[in-house]
Amino acid sequence: MKLVKGLVSYKFMKVAKFTGIDYKYRDIDSLPFPDYEPFNIREMLDEYSVATRHLYKYSRPDARPFNIVASRSCPFTCTFCVHKRRG
């Protein structure tokens, strides 16, 4: 968990641990496809991609569809937000 920046965790609701901030924004399209191996879901993804291939326009021939939410910033402008750039 220490490798992922921007996370806060609570141990038994007593101590908050923050992994730090990483503002090295990159072009989201330049990021590689995720490594599915740690999740042990290769077979499920292979079956799903064959069944749904007609629904997607692939930019790569070996792509497997998998839901990933990627975004920049937040759509809200909360006054209590810790970030200087809100919204």
Q: Is 40 left (phi over 0), alpha (psi -120 to 50) or beta?
A: left
The pTM score is: 0.29
pLDDT value at position 52? 66
The length of the chain, given as a count of residues: 87
pLDDT value at position 36? 72
Amino acid at 82: V
pLDDT for residue 3 is more than 60:
yes
Please, what's the b/e burial string for 52-72 (b: 16 or more CB within 10 A of its CB; e: otherwise)?
A: eeeeeeeeeeeebeeeeeeee
pLDDT value at position 87? 42
pLDDT for residue 77 is more than 60:
yes
pLDDT digits (tens, 9 = 90+) for 10-61: 776 677 777 877 666 677 777 777 777 777 777 777 776 666 666 666 666 6
